[in-house]
Chain A
Amino acid sequence: MDITFDNVSYIYQPNSPFEHRALENLSFQIPSGSFVAVIGHTGSGKSTLIQHLNGLLAPTHGSVTIGDVMLQAGSKPKNLKALRKQVGVVFQYPEHQLFEETIEKDISFGPLNFGVQEEEIKQRVQETIEAVGLSSDMLERSPFDLSGGQMRRVAIAGVLAMNPRVLVLDEPTAGLDPKGQREIMDMFYKLHHEKNLTTVHVTHSMEDALAYADYVIVMHNGHMYMQGKPLEVFKEKEALNKVGLDVPEIIELTTKMNKRFGLSLEYKKQSVEELAAEAAHKLKGGSV
């Protein structure tokens, strides 16, 4: 589904001493099927932005269009349930939303609310529990008996079982070990392609943004600071440093090598080994 932000502003607690402008005149478009990374420092408005994607917040000014649902400032949103059925949101620390007695019931909770047939739910539960890398004989256990990482996976399965067309991820791997982080992001990436989803990924990890996204939105103080293809955005080291963001290590490495050895390597998603071979080749006097 296409997502369009048109001049969106959002103000928390307007007309009070606590008034806070979280988004200001934000405009952008996310075409259906793209994987977009939203990066920015803490407090830059990333979380406010994604809450507009399924109508948890409605813009104070401007309008947001997701598929054929439009959220407009000043008018009461309709079809919220239909919108939420299409847009699955994995919040930060999603394991905090678990509440049912068994894992199966918790995963079924979303689809049940959206009126999916029982047979269909059973099938989805099987599919999603495997997709998140857990075994289906755990289904009868209580989600509270699991480890933190497993709880996270169950919670994610609960969102996936809604069969959303748009997947919104708010730092879904925060607090996991590196291996778990990789596994979960790879899983989302695989699903993104298999099910032809539109994915919006809020992250602090420039590495993840570089590895998975095909478009990057950089937020700063509620404004759109930069946007573009990851390789283009991460070229602007100084601009990113200015708002407290780094460039991915591998790009940093390439720049440093170029400077130190007078090379002109270009990073285009090679692995470290490939990059090393390229550098060695050039240093030995060869040309590519």
Chain B
Amino acid sequence: MNSSMVIGQYVPGDSPVHHMDPRAKITIIFFFVIVVFFANSVASYGALALFALLSVGVTKIPPRFIAKGLKPVWFLIIFTFILHLVVTKEGNVLFSVLGFDVYSGALIQGVAISLRFFLLILITSLLTLTTTPIAITDAIESILHPLKRIKFPVHELALMMSISLRFIPTLMQETEKISKAQASRGVDFRTGPIKERLKAIVPLLVPLFVSAFKRAEELAMAMEARGYQGGEGRTKLRELALRKIDYMVLVLFTFVIIAVFLTRA
């Protein structure tokens, strides 16, 4: 069940990307996502693609594994590509398939948009592949810290995030466990008419909700029992600190951005 769940799955490792400060990673990805939309020439796309592929290479996560995890997204990428081929009518007619004229502009735009999409997903999945959820939440809390001035509940938000992230695997395990128990009682989740299959979800969802609420209550009680107070004055087990590698990568990425803007058509 979780073999194709790469998005959001941390793969432990010892690469420079793993060791980077999560704030640096988030910052880079934030700007990467923006800059991807400015790329419009072969060279500018090339610079971004090079940066993304280099990052993937450094992590030493088997590409086969990443590709497998992106499987659900491939469909979307290919779908966008085909949509562009069919809908866009710019440039000259290159050839026609099944009565559809395929224009050169359509081909270029299709490739560009699909590539953009691919790069976006690749780089963002790299964040969750190389960073533990806890580190990501810590980073977000740190980045949002200035908002505290305007009474924005930064710590509470971060806490909510880390709790939800923490319980995703638990809930997935729970789902698997309950669906196995119900399958043993003769529920068929996989075959049969849609209506029957929808009905089969009820015996799965009810126990799942019951246990999720129970878990939430127990957690709240445990936190209160230990005198949990919220963010004021709490220290961290892992202090975030920018190190040499972070500055180096940030500088490198700045060059990539400059390169993109210089080579824009």
Which A residues are within 8 Å of any B CB, using their own CB?
A: 13, 15-17, 51, 54, 56, 81, 84-85, 87-89, 91, 94, 96-99, 109-110, 112-114, 144, 158-159, 162
Check A16 against B3 for contact (C-beta < 8 Å): yes
Knowing A17-B62, A99-B207, A144-B210, the reply to whether A88 touches B184 (Cβ < 8 A) is yes
Q: How far is the CA of A110 from the CA of B185 in the complex (A)?
A: 5
Check A162 against B186 for contact (C-beta < 8 Å): yes
Q: Which residues of B contact A87 (CB under 8 A)?
A: 184
B259 an interface residue at 8 Å Cβ cutoff? no
- Among A91, A99, A159, the most chain B Cβ lie within 10 Å of the Cβ of A99
B170 an interface residue at 8 Å Cβ cutoff? no
B61 an interface residue at 8 Å Cβ cutoff? yes
A163 to chain B minimum Cβ distance, whole angstroms, is 12
**Chain B contacts with A in 174-223, Cβ cutoff 8 A:** 174, 177-178, 180-188, 202-203, 206-207, 210-211
Residue of A whose beta carbon sits closest to that of B203 = A99
Contact among B68, B177, B185, B186 for A96, CB-based, below 8 A: B177
Contact among A81, A97, A114 for B181, CB-based, below 8 A: A97
Q: Which residues of A contact B185 (CB under 8 A)?
A: 84, 97, 109-110, 113, 158-159, 162
B79 an interface residue at 8 Å Cβ cutoff? no
Q: How far is the CA of A110 from the CA of B188 in the complex (A)?
A: 12
Q: How far is the CA of A226 from the CA of B265 in the complex (A)?
A: 72
B258 to chain A minimum Cβ distance, whole angstroms, is 36
Number of interface residues of B (CB under 8 A): 26
Which B residues are within 8 Å of any A CB, using their own CB?
A: 2-3, 11, 61-62, 64-65, 68, 174, 177-178, 180-188, 202-203, 206-207, 210-211
The 5 closest A-B pairs by CB, nearest first: A113-B186, A99-B206, A110-B185, A97-B181, A89-B184
Q: How far is the CA of A54 from the CA of B206 in the complex (A)?
A: 24
Q: How far is the CA of A13 from the CA of B178 in the complex (A)?
A: 20
A92 to chain B minimum Cβ distance, whole angstroms, is 8
- Among B184, B202, B210, the most chain A Cβ lie within 10 Å of the Cβ of B184
A206 to chain B minimum Cβ distance, whole angstroms, is 26
Q: How far is the CA of A54 from the CA of B187 in the complex (A)?
A: 13
Contact among B3, B174, B186, B206 for A84, CB-based, below 8 A: B186
- Among B61, B174, B186, B211, the most chain A Cβ lie within 10 Å of the Cβ of B186
